[in-house]
Chain A
Amino acid sequence: MTSLFDEVAEPAADGVQVRRVTITVNGRKRTADIEPRLLLAHLLRQGLRLTGTHTGCDTTNCGACTVLVDGQPVKSCTMFAVQADGHEVTTVEGLAGASELHPLQEGFKQEHGLQCGFCTPGMMLAAKALLDENPDPTEDEIRWALSGNLCRCTGYQNIVKSVLWAADKMRGPQSEAPAEPDESEKP
């Protein structure tokens, strides 16, 4: 149970509406008593201590706070937590398995898809939504899907490569091997 947050509601305040919400976060049901004005990003970060969801611009521009709500990418700074009541939320903490990284996380590692890392959780969740719908995207489709996510290190080239790496990995061994130099063409 998550309690009220000091930043938002002083429990003593009279006439302040508090709603009980139950949200499935990364597969686990979480219940909280919250003020309606609490943003989903703040419930995740402060209430549930899932600080992998970053708040960057706080004005619906940068996409660092992107999470999945029922599988769809959403800027969690632009949705009230009460709106997620009864829904499923996936944050970056929900990507990795017990012992191994999600292919997207592995891809960002392999292809140097992060520099400062601030935009990375949002990038990975926006990319996950893309790959769930389109397992074999072109580079253009990746750029399009990530166009609502800003990287101030401007590391876009490697972010796109990371998503391509993950897409390839997730399609499995039947898919084309990543472009390795052909042995016979080596000098």
Chain B
Amino acid sequence: MYPPRFRYERPASLDEAIGLLSSGRGEAKVLAGGQSLVPLMKLRFAAPELLVDINDLPGLDHHRVDADGSLHIGALCRHASLERSTILPDTQPTMAAAAPLIADPIVRTRGTLVGSLCHADPQGDWAAVVMALGGSVVAQGPSGRRSIASRDFVTGPFENTLAYDEVAVEAVIPGPTGARAGGYLKLERRVGDFATAGVAVAIEHTQGTIGRAGIALTGVGGATIDARDAADSLSGQRLDAATIARAAELAAEAARPRTDHRGSAAYKKHVVHTFVTRILTRISTTEEEAA
């Protein structure tokens, strides 16, 4: 399969990339890992006139923790870098759990987290993880940089709030306000398939009392779902059988799955309930063992 014709540019600087996007007047797309965009173009669901390949831009392949504890993931940081990260296992349990579950190992060598957020596929795993962690996307355009909270970033399936002349340069996860715990579980029929259902849980606690909490759901609605009520039910609480059960119920209620070849709507809600229970129970057990 060939995509429709397009013009291809590989700028050497971010300013040049932004200039090219401006000249595209909405008909240009950024090419980073290309693991979602190239298939879409081949299937002719996307037909940009201009591709701006940012792979030569310097200083975008990082993921690092700043002094304030915030994690910064550059637009060219590949899934594989996050999977092999020495930073994430100790500081970002939800991300560390998700990294090996993104697509398949070969796609992970090229695909990027920031690209996945921009692609805004309701089935995208990273969107749920970043939403649960209260993360944001940093966009740079002709008039400077702005930060967009992940819950405001996606406006619909495959649509985000970037202006046409903006490049998403970084995703940022805020520093923790307590001890961080969490997980990501995904049911897939085989490696590389879209999630039947996925659940991201991220909590911060002080000696077992939960402060900030986030729960977000993959693949069980027309967009990534922020299970806010479920997360809020945990704030100020300690994890026990009752609080875990309540959060799992509320998360399953927040899910809006459709029956399809991957399973019935009721089944997918059940999976969400089970995954929230499993992640929180494991956190609770781990904390008890550590205490």
Q: Which residues of A contact B (CB under 8 A)?
A: 7-8, 16-17, 19, 35-39, 58-61, 63, 66, 72-75, 77-80, 82-83, 85, 126, 144-149
Contact = CB atoms under 8 A, between A and B. Distances in A.
A66 B105 CA distance: 11
Contacts of A35: 5
B39 interface: yes
B192 A61 contact: yes
B171 to A, nearest CB: 22
Interface string B22-46: 0000000001001100110111000
Given A60-B35, A78-B34, A147 B8 contact: no
A77 B43 CA distance: 12
A80 B8 contact: yes
Given A63-B106, A79-B110, 19 more contacts: A16-B5, A17-B7, A17-B8, A19-B8, A37-B5, A37-B6, A39-B2, A39-B38, A59-B39, A59-B43, A72-B109, A73-B109, A74-B106, A82-B10, A147-B105, A148-B103, A148-B104, A148-B106, A149-B106
A78 B39 contact: yes
B6 A75 contact: no
A73 B105 CA distance: 9
Contacts of A85: 10
A149 B43 CA distance: 21
B134 interface: no
Given A60-B39, A79-B34, A36 B6 contact: yes
B105 A8 contact: no
Given A80-B38, A83-B53, A37 B192 contact: no
B23 to A, nearest CB: 14
25 contacts: A17-B5, A17-B8, A35-B5, A37-B6, A38-B2, A39-B38, A39-B42, A60-B35, A60-B38, A60-B39, A72-B80, A73-B105, A73-B106, A74-B106, A74-B110, A78-B34, A78-B107, A80-B38, A82-B8, A82-B53, A83-B34, A147-B191, A148-B105, A148-B107, A148-B191
**6 closest Cβ pairs, A-B complex:** A148-B104, A36-B8, A148-B106, A147-B191, A72-B109, A73-B106
A35 B191 CA distance: 33
Contacts of B4: 37
Contacts, number: 85
A63 B6 CA distance: 25
A39 B38 CA distance: 9
Nearest to A71: B109
Interface string B170-185: 0000000000000000
A74 B109 contact: yes
A49 to B, nearest CB: 19
B106 A126 contact: yes
A78 B38 contact: yes
B277 to A, nearest CB: 27
Interface bracket on B? 20 to 34
Contact of A60 (B3, B31, B107): B107
A133 to B, nearest CB: 9
A58 B42 contact: yes
A74 to B, nearest CB: 6
B109 A79 contact: no
Given A37-B3, A59-B42, A78-B35, A126 B8 contact: no
A145 B107 CA distance: 11
Contacts of B76: none
A63 B34 contact: no
B235 interface: no
Contacts of A39: 2, 38, 42
Nearest to B2: A37
A66 B106 contact: yes
Interface string B51-70: 10101000000000000000
B1 interface: yes
B219 to A, nearest CB: 17
B110 to A, nearest CB: 6
A75 B5 contact: no
A8 B2 contact: yes
A66 B80 CA distance: 16
